[in-house]
Amino acid sequence: MLLISLGLVGCGGKGDASSPDSDVLVISSVTPSPVATPELTAFSYPIAGACLPSGDQLMPGASRFYRQGIHEGVDFYESDNCTAIGFGTEVLAAKAGKVVRADSDYKELTQSDVDEIDARITAQGKCDEEALDRYRGRQVWIDHGAGVITRYAHLSRIADGLRVGMSVKRREVIGYVGNTGTPESLIDPNAEMHLHFEIRVGDGYLGQGLTPEEVRSLYGKAFAP
């Protein structure tokens, strides 16, 4: 079994706190001792026909210097993938589970929000959890049991009727690709259309603390047929 440390990391790839208008499962911020990961296989890609990006900058563990933190998930962009991905592309549940967050009442990021977040990051030297969550935009989270949660971020909207507490099937449509939460959504509304997808394990993300090669191997196994 692979051992990983499940501590929290700084801003840069999308983290834990919620916006006040969201339905959210609150995850403890206590840093546990390293533990063995549960069985992390048989995930479907969250976009039909997708594959892992070839660029490590779109994978977990990549630096995000402008946010003074680390990327915690996989970014699915059309420019580095195996399928067409754009505004409104269907986002699918990677595994069966229970919905624990569904941002039906999401409030769009404003320029004043971005200015305030950037000033706070600069002053603190790191990104706090509230800012991290705001930069992920509209989200859906699914609990798969055994401490494993998948997160789907930057959604343009969530699927009609999706609510916290609902059970969803593997490959069920849960939302649609967008760019919510990105500064580019204000500067160029047609830019940065992509899905940010995370596999969370306890208080950390899958691949945390590993090398790019180890991360890619781990996610390859997670998505293996």
Structural domains in the chain, sorted by start: 38-222 (2.70.70.10)
H-helix or E-strand containing 111?
Answer: helix 111-124
Q: What is the predicted pLDDT for the residue at 38?
A: 66
Q: Average pLDDT for consecutive 10-residue bins of the chain (225 residues)?
A: 34 37 36 51 97 96 70 96 98 98 95 91 85 93 97 98 98 98 92 96 93 95 93
What pLDDT score does 122 carry?
A: 87
Burial class (CB in 10 A: 0-12, 13-18, 19+), 80: middle
Q: How far apart are CA 113 and CA 135, in angstroms?
A: 10
pLDDT value, residue 121 = 87
Q: What is the residue whose two structure tokens read 């996610």?
A: 219
- Confidence at residue 24, expressed as pLDDT on a 0 to 100 scale: 38
CA-closest candidate to residue 207, choices 44, 94, 56: 56
Question: What's the token pair of residue 128?
Answer: 């706090």
